[in-house]
């Protein structure tokens, strides 16, 4: 998984690495899990194959797992009820005794197998635990997620040797907080430009780690960290971006500062410098060059922590909207009975039901292990982060001026301390965390059009010769001759299909028809743009978003059917919420379908180029930019010892 970059930063730690677009794409492709050994419901959606049997009947956990999970949630709830989220907000720090209380009941080892000292709970109960903790304060959920979803436990569990598991997992389960360090001051979603290096010592017993990592969530209090660094190619080793488990107490590590953000007060996020940090060779995860693959694979299920936090925010928002809208009276009746507000309440309620449905279905699929959920997890993260933000925004609007006012201000004048504005601020990061919306569009789109790219071959290669393209066209024609006729008709055109879902059957017929329509539209795009399709990010983003809505509709219908089967007394209510959600989602999907071909994409790209060229700088006249002169856009850094005192602290 090595990449031949234009500058060799491995000879000079800290030197900026320059990678061409082709080199960056090559690195990303080499790290991508290209094979599909298990079925995927979401992948089928994009190919026009709506296979409901892959997700329905709704998957369920084993009875023993449910019993242990419920018992733990009871213990966790008891602890969470003693914690004060507003104290975290005021102090901008999670108190040490809060962390100790969570550690005492095993919260930092929820997913770690019991044989290594963890609780060994399922992904479904991990998600429910995150909902509980996150409802106290989202920074608590972010801390546990960064530790357990992408920090040391998950990559060690998935890729570590038995010796590494024995060494690190019991420590993590016992309360050692961990972090995942990938981003650098000048490197975000483009790891081909990574400058941090890990150079193998002459005796081969250790690596010397140099570099600076930015936005190290949990890094300020972490005891162990997973660090991504570029290993120079050497005799007997291929080098490349590699993953290491590093003890935060190692000499040469300095947490230079603790960052502050618009939301998530209490988040222990910092800037960490490594200067000649000696890392035992035995701390290398997998092989040299496997780092990016390890990171991407870990994120496949790690991303499900975001939907859990989003579902928690939706549930809380619904509770506040319901109680407030029944209490607040305007023009002679509660505001919730006015049409404008009723529309918002309906959206919040229906979307919250779907947020939990998407989380539960994705988590249960992950636990079952029989399906490939890389697209499902990505869609769950993408869709949930966008919809939860809308839910919180609508709650602020329902609350009016009180929605914009802080909980502390409300309490100071004797009113209920509802922190709606805080939830809105806190949720905003989820559209960026663990893959921004824009990056998630590209990730899912790459998987969604994979079959087309494979069929097209050199048709999708910009610099392929005319002869190669001709051969590719002949190959592609065979694939599409077999595939396209399958998209003409399906179960969604059969009246009465999916009748076991009662009033929701029509929505599932719509999903089936729309899945085939989505596949046809993708084919039209591939036919029209061929190698240029990857640059049509607006088109691809809408393709992905349509699939996300169809996935959420399916999850909502499946969950409603499960609830009705389990508890008929709640069945009608669940069906009503699923029906409302599907009606709303269909409108969004139809709008996206319309915008596939009727949009302002070309205009937007042209205007953007002119903006960047300075053609419209005159529009900016009349304001003062007080950020000018305060520093560069990206702070430069150089390898070497730190000039700062460390701000690292330990809670135990």
The tokens for 57 are: 């009947």
Q: Which residues of 276-288 are buried (b: 16+ CB within 10 A; e: fewer)?
A: ebebeeebbbbbb
Instruction: From 30, 33, 434, 14, select the one nearest 240 (Cα to Cα).
Output: 30
The tokens for 134 are: 């996150």
The tokens for 232 are: 């120079």
Q: Are 402 and 410 in contact (CB under 8 A)?
A: yes
Largest CA distance in the chain: 82
Q: Coil, helix or strand for 436?
A: coil
Give me the catalytic one of 223, 356, 434, 512. Answer: 434
DSSP string, 53-74: GGT-SPP---HHHHHHHHHHHH
Rounded distance, CA 253 to CA 646, Å? 8
Instruction: From 483, 492, 489, 485, select the one nearest 553 (Cα to Cα).
Output: 492
Instruction: From 323, 329, 318, select the one nearest 394 (Cα to Cα).
Output: 318
DSSP-derived letter for residue 272 is E
Strand boundaries in 122-223, DSSP class E: 178-181, 197-200, 206-217
Neighbours of 521 (CB within 10 A): 18
Which phi and psi (to 5°) does residue 422 adopt? -65, -45
Q: Coil, helix or strand for 225?
A: strand
Inter-residue long-range contacts of 335-339, CB under 8 Å, 24+ positions, other chains counted: 335/398
Rounded distance, CA 262 to CA 432, Å? 13
Q: Where are the alpha helices (DSSP H) in 207-331?
A: 291-302, 305-327
Rounded distance, CA 353 to CA 379, Å? 17
Rounded distance, CA 151 to CA 87, Å? 26
The tokens for 378 are: 């990505």
Q: Which residues on adjacent β-strands are paired with residue 206?
A: 280
Which phi and psi (to 5°) does residue 200 adopt? -70, 135
Q: Work out the angle between the directed axes of helices 374-399 and 437-448 (0-180°, nearest 10).
A: 150
Active site residue 434: yes
Which phi and psi (to 5°) does residue 383 adopt? -70, -45
Q: Are 385 and 377 in contact (CB under 8 A)?
A: no
Q: Are 530 and 459 in contact (CB under 8 A)?
A: yes
DSSP string, 561-605: HHHHHH-HHHHHHHHHHHHHHHHHHHHHHHHHHHHHHSS-HHHHH
Q: Coil, helix or strand for 182?
A: coil
Neighbours of 152 (CB within 10 A): 29
Rounded distance, CA 574 to CA 582, Å? 12
Which phi and psi (to 5°) does residue 489 adopt? -135, 160
Instruction: From 437, 399, 438, select the one nearest 421 (Cα to Cα).
Output: 399
Enzyme catalytic residues: 434
């Amino acid at each position: 998984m090595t990449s031949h970059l234009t500058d060799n930063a491995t000879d000079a730690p800290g030197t900026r690495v320059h990678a061409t677009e082709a080199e960056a794409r090559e690195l990303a492709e080499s790290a991508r899990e290209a094979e599909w050994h298990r079925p995927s419901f979401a992948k089928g959606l994009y190919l026009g194959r709506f296979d409901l049997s892959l997700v329905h009947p709704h998957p369920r956990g084993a009875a023993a797992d449910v019993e242990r999970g419920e018992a733990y949630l009871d213990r966790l709830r008891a602890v969470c009820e003693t914690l004060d989220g507003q104290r975290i907000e005021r102090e901008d720090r999670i108190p040490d005794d809060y962390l100790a209380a969570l550690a005492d009941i095993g919260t930092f080892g929820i997913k770690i197998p019991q044989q290594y000292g963890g609780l060994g709970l399922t992904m479904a109960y991990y998600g429910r635990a995150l909902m509980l903790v996150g409802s106290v304060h989202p920074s608590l959920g972010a801390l546990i997620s960064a530790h357990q979803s992408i920090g040391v436990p998950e990559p060690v569990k998935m890729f570590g040797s038995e010796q590494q598991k024995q060494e690190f997992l019991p420590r993590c389960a016992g309360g050692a907080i961990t972090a995942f360090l990938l981003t650098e001051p000048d490197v975000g979603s483009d790891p081909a430009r990574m400058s941090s290096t890990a150079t193998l010592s002459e005796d081969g017993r250790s690596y010397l780690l140099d570099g600076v990592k930015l936005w190290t969530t949990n890094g300020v209090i972490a005891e162990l960290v997973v660090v991504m660094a570029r290993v120079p190619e050497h005799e007997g080793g291929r080098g490349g971006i590699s993953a290491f488990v590093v003890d935060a107490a190692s000499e040469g590590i300095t947490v230079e500062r603790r960052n502050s953000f618009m939301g998530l007060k209490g988040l222990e996020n910092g800037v960490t410098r490594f200067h000649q940090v000696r890392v035992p060779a035995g701390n290398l995860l997998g092989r040299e060059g496997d780092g990016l693959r390890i990171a991407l694979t870990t994120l496949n299920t790690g991303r499900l922590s975001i939907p859990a936090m989003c579902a928690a925010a939706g549930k809380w928002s619904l509770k506040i909207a319901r109680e407030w809208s029944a209490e607040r009276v305007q023009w002679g009746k509660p505001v919730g009975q006015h049409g404008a507000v009723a529309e918002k309440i309906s959206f919040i309620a229906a979307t919250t039901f779907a947020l939990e449905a998407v989380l539960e279905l994705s988590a249960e699929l992950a636990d079952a292990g029989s399906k490939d959920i890389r697209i499902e997890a990505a869609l769950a993260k993408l869709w949930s982060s966008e919809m939860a933000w809308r839910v919180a925004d609508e709650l602020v609007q329902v609350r009016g001026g009180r929605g914009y006012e802080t909980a502390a201000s409300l309490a100071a004048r004797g009113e209920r301390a509802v922190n709606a504005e805080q939830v809105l601020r806190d949720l905003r990061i989820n559209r960026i965390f663990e893959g921004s919306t824009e990056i998630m569009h590209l990730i899912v789109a790459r998987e969604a059009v994979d079959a087309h790219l494979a069929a097209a071959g050199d048709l999708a290669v910009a610099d392929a010769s005319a002869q190669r393209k001709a051969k590719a066209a002949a190959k592609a024609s065979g694939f599409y001759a077999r595939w396209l006729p399958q998209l003409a008709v399906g179960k969604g055109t059969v009246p009465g299909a999916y009748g076991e879902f009662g009033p929701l059957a029509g929505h599932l017929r719509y999903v089936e028809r729309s899945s085939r329509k989505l596949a046809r539209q993708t084919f039209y795009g591939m036919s029209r743009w061929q190698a240029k399709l990857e640059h049509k990010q607006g088109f691809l983003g809408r393709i992905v978003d349509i699939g996300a809505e169809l996935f959420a509709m399916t999850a909502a219908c499946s969950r409603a059917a499960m609830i009705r089967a389990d508890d008929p007394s709640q069945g009608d209510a669940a069906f009503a919420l699923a029906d409302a959600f599907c009606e709303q989602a269909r409108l969004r999907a139809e709008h996206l379908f319309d915008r596939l071909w009727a949009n302002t994409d070309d205009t937007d790209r042209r205007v953007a180029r002119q903006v960047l060229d300075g053609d419209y700088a005159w529009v900016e006249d009349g304001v003062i930019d007080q950020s000018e002169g305060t520093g560069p856009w990206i702070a430069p850094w150089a390898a070497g010892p730190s000039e700062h005192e460390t701000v690292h602290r330990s809670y135990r």
